[in-house]
Amino acid sequence: MTRLIKSGAYAADTFTPVADDAALPEGPVIVSLARFQKDRETLLERNTPIGVRLRSDENPQALGDDVNRLSLVALEFPKFRDGRAFSWARLLRTRLGFTGEIRAVGDFLFDQVNYQHRTGFDAWEVPDHFTLEMFNRALTEMTNVYQPSADGKKTIRDLRATR
């Protein structure tokens, strides 16, 4: 079982994940990229929030101009060692100008939450044992950073160069 964390608190998930071969329910849905591409017109005509779940090997640029018609992009971490979703989140925020929710789903570690946030994630599906205290500690545990990111925070290298 998973829970959703948004804005530092547990949140109700208003989106329903829909399998590729399932009927579309009423209300906001999350579909695969393949389903979105196949049923694009039907989904967009519904006039309800749409989310697309991308596997780690699916580039968000495949969404084209429709990216800004989406309310949510869920980026999958199939294994904690697969970091492509970090790049996809940053690309969504910086190059594609996506302002909707970017949700981390799958197998990620406590230590990755801070960088996920820095690259553009603003929602997390976490296992039941992952508490809000753990989440908030993960966000604040690192005060200085090595990697540049979408948040514009100065890196350690930048800080050293200004001395």
Which whole number is the average pLDDT over 119-146? 85
Across the chain, mean pLDDT equals 90
Which has more pLDDT, 56 or 140? 56
pLDDT for 66 beyond 90 = yes
Q: 119 lies in which domain range? A: 2-161
Q: How confident is the model at residue 138 (pLDDT cuts 50, 70, 90)?
A: confident
Q: What is the CATH number of the domain that holds 138?
A: 3.20.20.70
Give how far Cα 135 sits from Cα of 82, 96, 100, 103, Å. 20, 27, 21, 14
Q: How far apart are CA 149 and CA 33, in angstroms?
A: 25
Which whole number is the average pLDDT over 74-83? 92
Q: How far apart are CA 42 and CA 21, in angstroms?
A: 14
Which whole number is the average pLDDT over 126-147? 81
Q: How confident is the model at residue 148 (pLDDT cuts 50, 70, 90)?
A: low
Structural domains counted in the chain: 1
